[in-house]
Structure 1
């Protein structure tokens, strides 16, 4: 495979469309990262539990995955350009709805705010999914001789967005002194969430007036039915299963990682900075993925990545200091960096007849897994182990800070901690008092606020003792969630090892072409180890 950055066979506007796709993915990364940094504000303002927050973020990822799959089926027929403009509109609608959440909360309470934010994240994810359904097959078409190289460059936009979003969140986060007292409040989450519109405007400007090609499979006359048939080969089914695990461990964990590491290091800001650092590391490494894959084979790289992912998450779950967190996060970042784009490249190379459908299906399954399982599961694990720990150390504290209803995940039940109550405890009721003063000045009444004030008046006498127990329980829940999640990349490593042995048995991994029997992915090729 060529690793040259120039190819005379590419279209004149190939680089412009590549970078437009890069900015579209970057927009998704900015939105995803900023959202991770404001989960605490959502919990405090609307009273969400960790499981509820995980479901909100997970719902967005699920929508992302579903739309990738659906739009991949007819992307060539509708046209890549039209779909990108549709994504542009959806991104703006999502922003409007997200900013309306406080109004929904004021009129309908917690449930109204929950469904408003869930819908906003779902629409945001639809916009991201439409982009993803386009940019992956588009990039493979624009750079036919360098697909692995440019797919990795394209997906460097994701960590770039995470870096920009997390840096912005770090600067706009609340500031505390050495005693943990808040000295300056966080910038309003609505301002932070609006940042993703900047790259949206940029990619919108870049696609105006541009001509978009169709995928190579469509150009070769491969029908949608033939593309769909590629999904039923054993190797493709295995790749779909593995990528579901990739989505769980990468995107599901990313939804929570800055919050959990922030708890471990006793500083939400440090958690965001660490997340920014690991994302920057991913951004840089993805520009070198093409040459690396060319030398050690894609499957070998995936195997090493899964092993590093397991080790990194185990280390993070056991970290007790800032330095240990940095080392563990570095190992984890190196592990997850190449998983997603390299899986896309493997599908594109081994199943060229699959076209946009095969690439879309693999990406969609990963997103669905992250949304329906990864985000909610990691949130639930935090609730489960935090509440279990608090009941062991102080049943009285648990009774004061438990949520009002039970959460269930895959048949397992728990009553987590109420995010609003924990938020009041963390800042000693300062934000609650400020909100009370504002409501009084405006002559307004808020039943949710009044109930929280009444609760705090009763809980305040024991707050000092409760804080130690509640904080310790939350930290325990986060660590346990990371340790248990580490077994997902461990399973992936076993499956990658099986694939590595399979390819060695048939002569080695090889990128295939749309021609005859090879297009099915069943022909042996020369070794590339």
Structure 2
């Protein structure tokens, strides 16, 4: 129910971005920043919570999450005019996401502790609540917003219903300790397997995060291109300096333990999981709404979320019937996801979209919870620490690499397609400012002007000029190319999972470890 509340709130907030844009006259950049707070807040919630949960206990962190969920509602509802709305909505989103991250810092190790022999199965059931919440939130938003035109504050208040329910359900519960906490493992012992290698992955993403934050702070209003370039360079220096300091601190804490190479590989792979699963989820309604209609985009999003919800109850059955280890299941899923994204890049009719995106949904279903299960199985001595850092890596990757990377691809490929088709029309529709990926100057590319494109789409299809048709077709081809490029991520993951499968076969097969065995 706690994860469900997070999914409902996430879907409802995503559905009212256009309401905020109209009411407060936000730019797409401002809306993107508000949405990005949903990833960064989650990251800090799950990492901070994971580092302390084994010491303070699960119950206290649940209380913190509940308090943050309630506070986030009051902060968000404080947005009343264009002058205060941005700050209220940004920090409301951040606090809401922090609560979600804190709940995951509790839920993942708690379920792993309660079901040590069937972690893959029960972690998948736990995370079935996320797509269930997205289905309920999207459906509620479609009725309350598109059909009833209810004010966004009333829509958003709906997530407080499952919040109240999970608060009531947690009352009087007694929580167990993780295997590591039960054995009296110290924080240093829990962190040693992460080591410098594992911390390197997390600190790299944190460096990118702080670089983005300081870029916004250092860039003056109405800045020139030179000022933006200078601000970007200075922000990157600050970001990598903070990342470096955090990496050194991690080394000192672990006495410069190199860490587990296997855990490092899992962290890098989960970076890819966050980029392809959550990054694609963040854009898929926009892409399908562009290729078809906005309403059909919602249908497709509900369809893929419903598939994930149903299949996450079947992980153990699939493993048993197909005789797959968790790594074998992930290899199968990565292959299916790659096929699904490639098919999605060619979808031209709604039935084909349901088939293609359905295949992709089957593929992405088991990524996140099964990766967590592997960490719980193979590194029980890390308690909640490794699981929470992995969750933070996936969420940061979605916010810093997956979402922005797909947005950059859409801009780049749409602009290149129109420039190739008709340079004169491209000159007319070319965006004023270039897009870059990870603030790298060499990736600079010009997309299409969003306002001109929106105006062209508002014209009835049979009344559009040839130039408008070319612009819209190029924009759609950019979306298709983006989905095809996106498929390279699960393809890379499939190669990694295959190598891991070979590794486990070489050491006698995949099996669940306990602290005494890992110590030996």
The answer to whether the 8 Å contact 1:47/1:420 transfers is no
Query: For residues 76 and 453 of structure 2, what CA distance do their matches in structure 1 show?
Result: 24
Matches within 5 A, 1:496-515: 496-515=497-516
Q: What is the correspondence of 1:327-476 to structure 2 with a 5 Å cutoff?
A: 327-392=355-420, 405-410=433-438, 411=440, 412-417=443-448, 419=450, 422-423=453-454, 426-427=457-458, 467-476=468-477
- 1:451-484 Cα offsets, whole Å, 9 max, x none, are xxxxxxxxxxx98666534433432232222111
Number of aligned pairs?
449
Q: CA RMSD in A?
A: 2.8
The TM-score, its normalising length taken from structure 1, stands at: 0.78
Q: Is the 2:117–2:512 Cα contact (8 Å) retained in structure 1? A: no
Q: Is the 8 A contact 2:341 2:360 kept in 1?
A: yes
Q: Deviations over 1:410-429 (max 9, x none)?
A: 21234545556655554569
Deviations 1:50-88 (A, max 9, x none): 666444433321321232112211112222112111111
How far off is 1:314 after superposition?
1.1
Partner residue of 2:300 out of 265, 274, 287: 274
CA contact (8 A) 1:352 1:514 kept: yes
Cα distance, 1:101–1:340 mapped onto 2, change above 3 Å: same
Alignment check: 8 A CA contact 2:285 2:298 kept = yes
Residue 316 and residue 190 in structure 1: after superposition, are their counterparts in 2 closer, same or farther (change >3 A)? farther
Aligned to 1:200: 163
CA distance in 2, matches of 1:351, 1:261: 40
Q: Which residue pairs with 1:259 in the alignment?
A: 286
Find the residue that maps to 1:493 and give its secondary structure.
helix
Mapped contact 1:60–1:125 kept (Cα < 8 A): yes
Where does 1:224-303 land on structure 2 (aligned, <5 Å)? Answer: 224-231=187-194, 232-264=259-291, 266-294=292-320, 295-303=323-331
Return the offset for 1:96.
3.1
- Deviation of 1:210 after TM superposition, in Å, equals 2.3
Per-residue deviation at 1:354?
1.0
Residue 66 (structure 2) pairs with residue 83 (structure 1): no
Give the TM-score taking structure 2 as reference length. Answer: 0.79
Task: Give the drift of 1:141.
Answer: 1.9
* Unaligned 5+ runs, structure 1: 1-22, 175-183, 430-461, 524-529
Q: Deviation of residue 366 (structure 1)?
A: 0.9
Higher mean C-alpha deviation, range 418-427 or range 57-66 = 418-427
Higher relative contact order (CA closer than 8 Å, sequence separation 6+): 1
Counting only pairs closer than 5 Å after superposition, residues 136-175 of structure 1 correspond to structure 2 as 136-172=108-144, 174=146
1:305–1:73: structure 2 CA closer, same or farther, 3 Å change rule? same
